[in-house]
Every structure is written in structure tokens, then in C-alpha cells.
Amino acid sequence: MDFRNDEMAIKNSTVVQSILLAAGSESESLKRIAEKTQVDSRTMKILSRIALIYLPANLIAVCVPLLSEKLNFFQYISHNKKHY
């Protein structure tokens, strides 16, 4: 009976050992994923800051000339109206 218990204990210890090795390998994989995610997050923050500055400036650069052309057109029309 003791021999059988020893056999089971050895079998259980090898199974537990293989589970621990798999968990360690999975932990390393998760660590690498977390590091890559951190770098990706940093990159996205930088890109969003660039967009935060660039997009409003671009919008102003495009809209101001268009609005000034419309204002000039309306001023031209209002000055050139014939009064009857």
C-alpha cells in the first residue's frame, strides 16, 4: 500500500511541476504583452497630442480663407446694389 501511495505522490508532483512550468511560461507571455501594450499606449498618447494641436490649426487655416471670401462676396454685393 505504501508503494502505491508513493507512486501517486510522485505522479502528482510531476503533474504539479508541469502545471507550474506552464503557468511560468504563461506569466512571461503576459508580461511581454503588458510591456508592448504600455509602449503602444505611450505612442497613442503622443499621436493624440499631435492631433490635438494639428487638427484645430488645420481647421482654422482652411475655414478662415473660405469665410473671408464669403464676407468679401457679400460686401461686394451690398456695395453694388442698384437702388430703385
Tens of each residue's pLDDT in the chain, 84 residues: 567 778 888 888 898 898 888 888 899 999 999 999 988 899 999 999 999 998 888 888 887 877 777 777 767 677 766 655
* Residue 1: per-residue pLDDT: 59
Measure Cα distances from 51 to 43, 56, 60, 62, 67 in Å: 12, 8, 14, 16, 23
Name the residue type at position 34: A
- Reduced to 3 states, what is the DSSP secondary structure of residue 81? coil
In terms of Cβ atoms closer than 10 Å to its own Cβ (0-12, 13-18, 19+), residue 48 is exposed
* Residue 5: per-residue pLDDT: 77
DSSP 53: H
Furthest C-alpha separation in the chain: 122
